[in-house]
Structure 1
């Protein structure tokens, strides 16, 4: 891996690490903060912050982005991810919903690369993804039994597919526009799509200092900053590789759970964490094959 590719990969990893703080932040949200209202507020704050930053930096160039099909696909898929992920967690529980949604996203991304972009992910990606997904399953479940709600599983798969489609569509836009502009426009449109939910669910939790702090962290840190980092990284590496690197998110969440929330990490979960790291190392360090038949 050359230095430039390593830098882009590192940005994706940093974005995933920031996403890993979402669960901890939601843990400290006050009573009355529903998952859907949190998701809608998160997009509204994050999209607005990125748009303001892009405007101040003079990055809002090219109004034709508003007429690109990928812009609307990206906005709709991000809004869909917010709804399907939180709904899946409610129906299946945090462990199962997280495993299916996050674990399926790299698979969907690989299929999109293969079918739509005509790019073969390669054996390195396949091995690293399988190792990392297995590690994610062990990390989140801790080897315990999980209750299976098939409707919830299907919705969680929808969340994984939504995230992969969002990444693929924004990848197309990043070939033309700056990461700040792409992320700001797509997230603002996504927030508009979710805005009706702000009228349905109570936002009284935002009136407290604790609620406002959680909202700002989720909007500014885990959305605005994290997705700008992710978009910068995505602009320089392959789609399937970027999505696999985001499996660092549950590792971060587990570490924070142990040190901040005093949760217990079982031996199986610890082994799963090691597998995730191993998969990411395989993906990031192994020398890529430089030919047209196997693009990594």
Structure 2
């Protein structure tokens, strides 16, 4: 299976990455007393509730599109969503935001490409390989810590788990897009089930979530960075390959770095500047629409030739020449 990229799909996936990139800076700016896993659970639960209510009010029958055949990828996406939140935020807590982001989002494009190749049989192009390698190198430079680097082995392991979960989610959602499923309903279900996995931490942190800072933070994280961002992401998946979407997700650390410089007073060092250029270049490479393969071109040509033959035969029948 070989899929060419559509620029509208690229724009949707990038829009999701931009919204996801606001999560870290918003968390720092709000300075909430709630634990990271508590915030992660509240984020996806709130986003799931918002999307579910939207579906019920606008298209009540949409949940009926979730047939028995759609539940395996739906459950896989749900598990990946919940585990990603816990793993990534635990990685941040143990080894710092810079290292955790570099590990998780450096792994994500590779894991997405591998999972898509295994599960969907999608051919990984040379442009994807070059663009992904360039973007990962840029991500590593962008997330270079200013001070001493604290690398916790378990923190790195959590980051790897998070990156692998992102790949599983992306490919699972990609499979759902081809099954006639209403994707808004599907995203609502994945967020709600994923949030249920984190419910023990969310419930234990309710006092901290009840503060004004936490409520404002969750009001942004849930409806915008979860409900809206995931909706953009799965809509884009209809038009781009899952591996491409995984690489485009690297826009998230780039946006987070830009917001940190604009609103949190961080400065752009030489490695960050170089990394930004590499990251943007890599994203540009994987965003380019692919060329049709010779095999698909031959099939299209054969189909066109057959169509011409049929039309010619019909004309001859009308003229009595056959």
Q: TM-score range by the shorter chain?
A: over 0.9
Taking the aligned partners of 1:10 and 1:288, their CA distance within structure 2 comes to 19
**8 A contact 1:142–1:268 mirrored in 2:** no
For 1:111-150, what aligned pairs fall within 5 Å after superposition?
111-141=114-144, 146-150=149-153
Could you say what secondary structure the match of 1:61 adopts?
A: helix
Corresponding residue number in structure 2 for 1:152: 155
Of 122-131 and 88-97, more deviation after overlay is shown by 88-97
Taking the aligned partners of 1:142 and 1:126, their CA distance within structure 2 comes to 26
Would the alpha carbon gap of residues 113 and 85 (structure 1) be closer, same or farther in structure 2, given more than 3 Å must change? same
Could you say what secondary structure the match of 1:237 adopts?
A: coil
Would the alpha carbon gap of residues 292 and 23 (structure 1) be closer, same or farther in structure 2, given more than 3 Å must change? farther
**8 A contact 1:54–1:181 mirrored in 2:** yes
Corresponding residue number in structure 2 for 1:259: 262
**8 A contact 1:174–1:182 mirrored in 2:** no
For 1:88-237, what aligned pairs fall within 5 Å after superposition?
88-141=91-144, 146-176=149-179, 177-200=181-204, 202-237=205-240
Taking the aligned partners of 1:156 and 1:292, their CA distance within structure 2 comes to 39
**8 A contact 1:143–1:269 mirrored in 2:** no
Q: Is 1:87 equivalent to 2:96 in the alignment?
A: no
How far off is 1:205 after superposition? 3.1
Taking the aligned partners of 1:236 and 1:182, their CA distance within structure 2 comes to 17
Q: Is 1:34 equivalent to 2:42 in the alignment?
A: no
Would the alpha carbon gap of residues 192 and 154 (structure 1) be closer, same or farther in structure 2, given more than 3 Å must change? same
How far off is 1:142 after superposition? 5.4
Q: Which runs of 5+ in 2 are unaligned?
A: 297-322
Taking the aligned partners of 2:91 and 2:284, their CA distance within structure 1 comes to 30
Taking the aligned partners of 1:208 and 1:142, their CA distance within structure 2 comes to 31
Corresponding residue number in structure 1 for 2:50: 49
How far off is 1:137 after superposition? 0.3
Taking the aligned partners of 1:31 and 1:261, their CA distance within structure 2 comes to 16
Mark the structure with the bigger radius of gyration: 2
Q: Which runs of 5+ in 1 are unaligned?
A: none
Provide the TM-score with structure 1 as the length reference: 0.92
Could you say what secondary structure the match of 1:13 adopts?
A: helix
CA offsets 1:38-70 (integer angstroms, 9 cap, x no match): 001001100101111112221333242597111
Taking the aligned partners of 1:24 and 1:65, their CA distance within structure 2 comes to 40
Taking the aligned partners of 2:281 and 2:68, their CA distance within structure 1 comes to 39
Write out the 4+ residue segments of structure 1 that deviate beyond 4 Å after TM superposition. 142-145
Taking the aligned partners of 2:94 and 2:151, their CA distance within structure 1 comes to 9
Could you say what secondary structure the match of 2:64 adopts?
A: coil
Provide the TM-score with structure 2 as the length reference: 0.85
Could you say what secondary structure the match of 1:28 adopts?
A: helix
Taking the aligned partners of 1:125 and 1:33, their CA distance within structure 2 comes to 39
How far off is 1:104 after superposition? 0.3
Corresponding residue number in structure 1 for 2:21: 20
Would the alpha carbon gap of residues 283 and 3 (structure 1) be closer, same or farther in structure 2, given more than 3 Å must change? closer
CA offsets 1:229-282 (integer angstroms, 9 cap, x no match): 011001221110011011111111011001111111111101101111000111
How far off is 1:89 after superposition? 1.1
Aligned length: 291
Could you say what secondary structure the match of 2:239 adopts?
A: coil
Taking the aligned partners of 2:226 and 2:167, their CA distance within structure 1 comes to 17
